[in-house]
Structure 1
């Protein structure tokens, strides 16, 4: 059983799961990543491969923070985010990414920058987009779930997209074997979608995480020779339709503020902005 805490921060355990899910239910779309991790592991650190810190006030859970490869504040206020940052600042940095609501990440970084090394990149105001209805454009009927035989075509596109987006190859950042395993895991789970014409990839995207309430998509990519032909909007529309039919009723993603082409494509599909995220990468 977890140690009772009325005020302050403690690592959450399995007996805190109910309170944690009540916290994420306040905004199940913005907090889909944390809820997905909690549901899949029951907050057992052995399966999390990380910690989930909780902040308590008057005996109730008011905020949380995922502390692993990703540092992700969950719910709560800016003051809660600062409290988590002060706790993290007393430890050696092990995270590679700090990501979440802009106001929370900004406040956390104001604390952490005093003791952590400079980041590789900061993306301050990334529009967080959602859709909970049928797409506004015709879905591409050629977009489908990937199968094992697609791996040889799909994997290079995943590497290219990650490198283009993040600025470093995932085979360097995550390790080649680990990244290949992640791509195969998403394929096996039915979370990987692509259009492949005559053995050549045109479009691809994946579901990164999902709960009964929401799913977040990632890795949207159109091969360079097929860009500016409408494949992004039609492909994302197909993914939205498939996800809403079999995974979760609401679909979200976040995009770099400067990526005008992607933002325009998502707007055509019917996504609307609901928040701003920030991502700090080390």
Structure 2
């Protein structure tokens, strides 16, 4: 079984967001997207139970994005592939999916695993777009995933107060939620081993992706960024017998009721 996990290098979400002069997220001091760790964990669980499983981590991003791949390799897996090209800067979800799909065709996986979303963009679009490019079935927002010997992947999806059980034949694209199981922590042995695992770097030319379809040619463009206004002071209602009425008046004025 050949599994590829798509991961992303994102800004530190605990820090104050910063942007470059051309309205792009400043990823200095970035990290592996936290939600991606759940997808990595699922790949490693399959590898633990299915002999001969090979796990590759794949990302698209600037040179520092290799740190996200090393973090994933420290958790486990066999190899990593980094698509890094100056022309990629500024790519949106459709452009990113185009590049990832080209890399996946080269890697010929049986199963592609993704997080439900990245912690910076949060669009949840890329897994579905990958499935469209590859013409594979997609199973998204999995809270549980199993594989059977017949090459069938099954998931349980929890959404809008209901539970759905879905299945598809491999090859397939699966995205997982943070309910699927806690990711493991990289051990010291894993961190040291990750430094020696193969990490290949590819360019757009290697993948045959035209530069005029990504980066500045992306379908969406950020024209400007406005900082969130400071939080306004709240209203204090003294407990003098009129609290309930005044609260109701406030909620009505704000059109909450």
Q: TM-score, normalised by structure 1?
A: 0.25
For normalisation by structure 2, the TM-score amounts to 0.27
- Pick the structure with greater CA Rg: 2
